[in-house]
Structure 1
Amino acid sequence: MKLKNKTILITGGSGGIGKIIAKKLAKDGNKLILVARKKNELKKIVNKLGNNHQYVVCDLSKAKSINKLITKLSKTLNKLDILFNVAGIGIYKNLENLTDKEWTQSLATNVTAPYRLIKGLLPLLKKSSKPLVVNIGSGAGTVGMKGRSAYVASKFALRGLSLTLSEEYKDQNLAFILITLGSILNSFGPLSLEEKIKLKKKGKAYFAPEWVVNKIIKITESKNPKKEYVLYPT
């Protein structure tokens, strides 16, 4: 089922795989709303995508900013067909070096923001004929990793939230998909893109960002999607 004439919100739309998802879906009559903190980046992207799309600047780590976003969309949209929760941050520190602020920021961005967006946008989602929430998870949400307590905890929580809501709404025409991803060849994570490229040359497996996005879109277009997909590079 090709995505056509859909109203789609993408968090993290100013960079990484969120930006690539936006480029892939900015056609076929779709209306995109890109959400991120970087106004200049968002403006550049939306200008390139065309007049049918818009952006909203939002700090997803702050409830006040999210509430403003929800209020604005509730006034301007008739419905929301798909919510992509892509935005995330990675803070990679041992417990003893981790600050309370970093812990709070990790949880706020990676799991509390999706929770607030899903809950706040439910009325718009329910107006769609086939509403869908796509949560981008991580392999870090399935296994403990040293030096990554804040990130791992946040991704475990997102996984639990997505799987639980999938059960909670399975009889209400609202689907939730969790896409658990392995390492991607980009700048996100404890290693720089340059460091990853060096490791790749030595045999380390990484996903190409374009491949990942094509897979995400294919999953999103599934007629009867599963509640969780796990993708690891080989």
Structure 2
Amino acid sequence: MQMQDLNGKVAVITGASSGIGEATARLLAAEGVHIVLAARRRDRIEALVEELGNQATAIETDVTDNSQVEWLFAQVKDTFGGLDLLLNNAGLGIHAPFTDSSPEQWRGMIDTNLIGLLNCTHAAIPLLKGRPGAMIASVSSTGGRYGVEGWSVYCATKYAVVGFHETLRKELGAEGIRVSVIEPGAVWTEFGHNLPEQALRERREALDALHAEDVAQAVVYAFAQPPRVLVQEILVRPVKQVAP
């Protein structure tokens, strides 16, 4: 297989304190990529820096706060001069029938899943220009393709992510910036924190759910393609997840 040599490239991962973000950081670091870990939980990303050593940097960031996002990417520019991969992974899902949900819950999901992603993407684009194989990759969901009961607002944010990426791909393609969206099904992560733990475990065991590392491999596969190649969309779900 003809893949890019990723050694020496620079990546920013949001939501890097657990799950898919954490797993992708480990996998990219093993390929020689320097990882900038961005998340609200400073202790978690600093612990990951201790594990990855000089391959990683931790910057506490709330992606919903554009001033924090601008500071994050200013640090990336000052330290590295540019960026090769932005992985928009920070996300929030709150389970509730729409009639039982609240405006505060809607805003929380929209601010994190959509506004936060837009903040980071807007700040990253100038640093991606002129870098061969540069990529913006975002973690969406099967819920960005199919409506799922109890997740109406979450699904709405993920549909928006897919639509945004389809348009952004057309805007940035001529500059050689690749735009890719990853759509996982059920995964063993902290996602779904407001659901009973036992119910989550039973569902994921029944589906033989993906591990975070499985999704991380999809991200790295897309990023490691030759610069002329765009893997535009990856839908990855457990074999046993035969319905959305």
TM-score by length of 2: 0.88
- Work out whether residues 135 and 177 of structure 1, in 8 Å CA contact, stay in contact via their aligned partners in 2: yes
Q: Is the 8 A contact 2:40 2:62 kept in 1?
A: yes
Say whether 1:170 aligns with 2:169.
no
> What corresponds to 1:95 in structure 2?
98
Alpha-carbon distance, 1:55 to partner: 1.0
What letter corresponds to residue 120 of structure 2 in structure 1? L
What residue is the counterpart of 2:6 in the other structure? 3
Task: Identify the match of residue 202 of structure 2 among 186, 198, 201.
Answer: 198
Aligned to 1:159: 162
Answering whether residue 51 of structure 2 is matched by residue 48 of structure 1, we say: yes
2-structure distance, mates of 1:150, 1:200: 22
RMSD: 1.9
**Structure 2 gaps, min length 5:** 240-244
Question: Does the 8 A contact of 2:76 with 2:83 survive in 1?
Answer: no
Q: How far has the Cα of 1:171 moved from its partner?
A: 1.4
Q: SS of the residue aligned with 1:219?
A: helix
Matched, 1:146 2:118: no
Given that 1:62 and 1:108 are in contact with CA atoms closer than 8 Å, whether structure 2 keeps it comes out as: no
- Cα deviation per residue 1:42-86 (whole Å; 9 max; x = unaligned)? 111101101232011011122232232233333333110011111
1:230 equivalent in alignment to 2:235:
yes
Asked if 1 retains the 8 angstrom alpha-carbon contact of 2:133 and 2:223, the reply is: no
The count of residues paired between Structure 1 and Structure 2 equals: 233
Partner of 2:242: none
Residue identity in the other structure for 1:160 = G
Determine helix, strand or coil for the equivalent of 1:4: coil
The 8 Å contact of residues 181 and 231 in structure 1, kept in 2 or not, is answered as: yes
- Residue correspondence of structure 1 range 11-160 to structure 2 within 5 A: 11-160=14-163
Using the TM superposition, name which of 112-121 and 38-47 deviates more.
112-121
Distance (Å, rounded) in 1 between the aligned partners of 2:111 and 2:11: 22
Matched-pair contact (CA < 8 Å) for 1:12–1:88 = yes
Amino acid in the other structure paired with 1:131: A
By how many angstroms is 1:164 displaced? 1.0
List per-residue Cα deviations over 1:87-127 (Å, max 9, x = no partner).
10111122233222221121111111121111112111114
What CA distance in whole angstroms lies between the structure 1 residues aligned with 2:196 and 2:80?
A: 38
1:180 equivalent in structure 2: 183
User: Cα offset for 1:132?
Assistant: 0.6
Change (3 A) 1:27 1:205: closer
Give, as a single letter, the amino acid of the residue that structure 2 aligns with 1:199: R
Secondary structure (helix, strand or coil) at the match of 1:51 reads helix
Asked whether the 8 Å contact 1:78–1:127 carries over to 2, the reply is no
The percentage of aligned residue pairs carrying the same residue is 26
Q: Which runs of 4+ in 1 moved over 3 A?
A: 190-197
Please say if residues 185 and 193 of structure 1, whose CA atoms lie closer than 8 Å, have aligned partners that are also in contact: no
CA deviations on 1:122-169 (whole Å, 9 max, x unpaired) are 111114122111111101111222221221111011111111111111
SS at match of 1:171: helix
Contact 1:89 1:110 in 2 (8 A): yes
**Consecutive unaligned residues in structure 1, runs of 5 or more:** none
SS for the counterpart of 2:22 is helix
